[in-house]
Amino acid sequence: MRIIVCVKQVPDTTEVKINPETNTLIREGVESIVNPFDLHAVEEALKIKENVGSGEVIAISMGPPQAKDALKETIAMGVDKAYLLSDTEFAGADTLATSYTLSMAIRKIADFDLIICGKQAIDGDTAQVGPGLAGHLDIPQIAYVRKIEKIDKTSVMVQRITEDGYEIIETPLPALLTVVKDINIPRLPTLRGKLISKKVEIPILTHHDIRTDSDRIG
């Protein structure tokens, strides 16, 4: 089973300040971290691989060159491969452009059985990229997943949070899930994982590599 996890590098919100004139985040000088919700997505992908007994977990991120650090953290956790989408043409992308760009990269990278995303990024809180990505790939998606009940080669059954509690839904694969923090506790990188992540080279894909429509990015 091949699982793709979408990861974003975000400012550490404990250190973020707001520009009073533009009402936007001041990112200069602020430490970057892996979006916390995405760490839960990585953990769940690794757990599925371990439970199935085989497979591959691939992390993908879109951002500036320093976003490699976020991907290296996922490698240290146990992810098999990672790819960074980085190009000046991607700068300023909104959620629609981001989900489109990710979809084009995923089409190029590999066939997949499952995509897992954190429910939202803490620097935007829109929760739109995951569902948008599923739309571009024309696959079913289930949002706000708090538990995976069962998964096999053809389908996945999950508990999904609702306004009234939760519901159990099953969908055929391939599919996309967005997960909440309740789903697991992310593992800490091992020493061996950290050593591996320091040596690994993260491939960078540009808009030329993934053949995006220039009118739909950035």
* Spans of all domains in the chain: 2-205
The SS3 of residue 171 is strand
| 29 has pLDDT over 70 | no
Question: Given pLDDT bands bounded at 50, 70 and 90, which one contains residue 25?
Answer: low
Q: What is the pLDDT of residues 120-164, one digit of tens each?
A: 998 877 889 999 999 999 999 999 999 999 999 999 999 999 999
Residues 6+ apart with CB under 8 A from 170: 155, 156, 157, 158
Q: According to the model, what pLDDT value does residue 67 have?
A: 95
Mean pLDDT of 90-96: 91
What is the spatial distance between Cα 48 and Cα 159, in angstroms, rounded to a whole number? 15
Query: Has domain 2-205 been given CATH number 3.40.50.2300?
Result: no
Q: What percent of the chain has pLDDT over 90?
A: 82
Mean pLDDT of 8-34: 76
Residue bearing the bigger pLDDT, 125 or 175: 175
Question: Given pLDDT bands bounded at 50, 70 and 90, which one contains residue 59?
Answer: very high
**For 217, phi and psi rounded to 5 degrees?**
-120, 160
Mean pLDDT of 189-210: 96
Question: Given pLDDT bands bounded at 50, 70 and 90, which one contains residue 21?
Answer: confident
- The HSE-up count of residue 171 (CA atoms within 13 Å, CB side) is 19
| 14 has pLDDT over 80 | no
Q: According to the model, what pLDDT value does residue 28 have?
A: 67
| 52 has pLDDT over 70 | yes
Q: According to the model, what pLDDT value does residue 146 have?
A: 98
pTM above 0.85, yes or no: yes
| 23 has pLDDT over 80 | no
**Radius of gyration from C-alpha coordinates of the chain:** 17
Mean pLDDT of 44-64: 96
Q: 147: exposed, middle or buried (C-beta count within 10 Å: 0-12, 13-18, 19+)?
A: middle
What is the spatial distance between Cα 43 and Cα 78, in angstroms, rounded to a whole number? 9
Mean of the per-residue pLDDT values for the chain? 93
Residues 6+ apart with CB under 8 A from 140: 134, 171, 172, 175, 176
